[in-house]
Amino acid sequence: MSTEEIPLPPSLAVVPNIPWHEQTINQLQAEWNYWDEQVRGAPEWGASFAFAMKERAACERWLEKRLREFDAAAAERRAMELTEAWPS
């Protein structure tokens, strides 16, 4: 698939684009997939390749951050459930 045929993810299809720090995990994953396809379809070592690599890496960092936050929140919820279930 050429890079012209890759549909924009929802986070990039709106103007202004949804910033990474405001995106959900699903939105970040869709955007990472988009940039990964751009990397795969771009001529190596050109400006478009370098830009797509930079965007994919930044998106990946935000996705990892959001997943860590999600895991921490899930662990905290589980700890609260266990505390509430503990007999007094």
Which is more confident, 42 or 52?
Answer: 52
At 76, list the tokens: 């905290």
Domain residues for 63?
Answer: 3-85
Q: What is the domain count for the chain?
A: 1
pTM of the model: 0.76
Q: What is the pLDDT of residue 37?
A: 93
CA 86 from chain center: how many Å?
Answer: 37
Residue bearing the bigger pLDDT, 19 or 88: 19
Rounded CA Rg of the chain: 18
Count CA within 13 A, CB hemisphere, residue 30: 14
